[in-house]
Amino acid sequence: MKCSIPEAFRGSISEGQSAKKFLEEIEQYFAKNEKVETSNLLAKLISMKYKGKGNIREYIMEMSNLASKLKSLKLELSEDLLVHLVLISLPAHFGQFKVSYNTQKDKWSLNELIFHCVQEEERLQRDRIESAHLTSTSQNKKRKKTKGAAEGTS
């Protein structure tokens, strides 16, 4: 990939223009790109949604990584704000978990949030497995009753 910076500044140095002035112009060019990058990173961070696929720890770390990139671009988000952004991005089946957090007096650090989210995700998975097992068990019992009744009437 060719860098277009030289083309952008080709012919922009006139006789008598100082190198300092030229470097200031280059700096402004990159500052504009930092604004675009900041906007893109922020848009990605606030639009992220956890879909329940993959590892929730990795998902939260990805959000934290975006916040770190924003910090390097001089847009620092507080840890409290990041915790709330993560909570907002969780799906509806984390609703009870969110209510539980919001009713507590204590605020969680990002590491505490990760710990609790991993626990909650494991609990939700266990509940789904138990629910699926109960459903299949009750369907098998219905089939046996229906089959037994049909055999008894013939």
Residue 70 CA, chain-centre distance (Å), reads: 14
Distance, in Å, from the CA atom of 148 to the CA atom of 135, rounded to the nearest integer, reads 20
Distance, in Å, from the CA atom of 76 to the CA atom of 41, rounded to the nearest integer, reads 12
Domain coordinates in residue numbering, the chain: 20-53+61-148
Whether 40 and 30 have beta carbons less than 8 Å apart is answered as no
- How big is the chain, counted in residues? 154
Q: Looking at residue 35, what is its pLDDT?
A: 87
What residues in the chain have per-residue pLDDT under 70? Answer: 1-16, 31, 133, 137-154
Q: Looking at residue 1, what is its pLDDT?
A: 46
Q: Looking at residue 22, what is its pLDDT?
A: 84
Q: Looking at residue 18, what is its pLDDT?
A: 80
pTM confidence score:
0.66
> Within 13 Å of residue 149, how many CA atoms lie on the same side as its CB?
6
Q: Looking at residue 8, what is its pLDDT?
A: 56
